[in-house]
Amino acid sequence: MCTSEKHGDVFVLTLTGSSNVDEHRLGPSAIDSILSAIAQAKAEATPGSAFITTSHGKFFSNGFDLAWAQAAGSRTGARERVHYMFKSFRPLVAAMMDLPMPTVAAVNGHAAAAGFILALSHDYVVMRRDKGVLYMSEVDIGLTLPDYCAALFREKVGSATARRDVLLRAKKIKGEEALRMGLVEAAYDSEERVAEASMRLGKQLAGRKCTGEVYAEIRKSLYPDLCGVLGLDIKAVFSNSKL
């Protein structure tokens, strides 16, 4: 689940749970809640808006809700539920790519599997240096990647070596290494500093007062393979009144 609030021009989506040890798993209800918050931000967007996703505690998000999948009571039922979550998550990634404003992921703890994908769907990622890792667990737990996840990594992680280490070695990447690999914008020593830095960055980006539709189309043009897989068209937009 999540909560959403607005600080000036900055929309802040906070992944929520029952306590600070909650893993912020992405089950159907959580995915629907995040999609609703993104849709609300898009509807209320103005030139100069920005969007931050964050959480509190040990986890940013520990991925899909595998306990919900296993609760199906059979191997076939569990696999169907995992497939359903992958299918449901596709429009969330598409919504992030199409959001007409700059986006920042404030990763204050572990971001694993779908949680890592959620973070990487943002324009900028800020994470903790002292705690938390980025981790794609699929090769460890025996799941292949859907096409949109593979496309996301191909286009957002520039180094083939980094992609190999993230996806084939399932390397758990801490803040300093994530910074060297180009996975994050910056790394800080506490949850409070991550929150401060992400809000500062969000306000700086919002301060550019860019036209949201233009921003979204330029973003999509940077990742044509991903947008093709997601079914997102890339359009030419003219917002300059002199053109």
Range of the structural domain that residue 138 is part of: 2-230
Of 6, 64, 60, 3, nearest in space to 37 by CA: 3
Backbone angles phi, psi at 184, to 5 degrees: -130, 160
**Global pTM value:** 0.94
Burial state string for 179-210 with b = 16 or more CB within 10 A and e = fewer than 16:
bebebbbbbbeebebbbebbbebbbebbeeeb
Element (H, E) at 3: strand 2-7
Residue 236 counted as domain residue: no
- Please, what is the average pLDDT of the chain? 93
Q: Write down the pLDDT at residue 19.
A: 47
Residue 211 counted as domain residue: yes
- Domain total for the chain? 1
| CB-neighbour burial class of residue 65 (10 A; exposed 0-12, middle 13-18, buried 19+) | buried
pLDDT for residue 135 is more than 50: yes
pLDDT for residue 194 is more than 50: yes
As a whole number of angstroms, the distance between CA 118 and CA 108 comes to 13
Residue 241 counted as domain residue: no
Residue 235 counted as domain residue: no
Site of tokens 């949850």: 191
The 10s digit of each residue's pLDDT in 216-228 is: 999 999 999 999 9
Average pLDDT rounded to a whole number, residues 111-125: 98
Residue 125 counted as domain residue: yes
The 10s digit of each residue's pLDDT in 28-78 is: 999 999 999 999 999 999 999 999 999 998 999 999 999 999 999 999 999
**Which of the listed ranges 15-24, 55-64, 113-122 does the model predict with the highest average pLDDT?**
113-122
Say what angle helices 75-97 and 147-156 make with each other, to 10 degrees: 40
As a whole number of angstroms, the distance between CA 210 and CA 110 comes to 32
β-pairing, 134-135 with 186-188?
A: unpaired
The 10s digit of each residue's pLDDT in 140-181 is: 999 999 999 999 999 999 899 999 999 999 999 999 999 999
> Of 11-15, 107-111, 165-169, 207-211, which range is least confident?
207-211
CATH number of the domain that residue 18 is part of = 3.90.226.10
Q: Write down the pLDDT at residue 242.
A: 55
Q: Write down the pLDDT at residue 237.
A: 82
pLDDT for residue 20 is more than 50: no
**Which of the listed ranges 14-18, 84-88, 238-242 does the model predict with the highest average pLDDT?**
84-88
Q: Write down the pLDDT at residue 131.
A: 87
As a whole number of angstroms, the distance between CA 106 and CA 170 comes to 22
User: What residues form DSSP beta bridges with 11?
Assistant: 6, 51
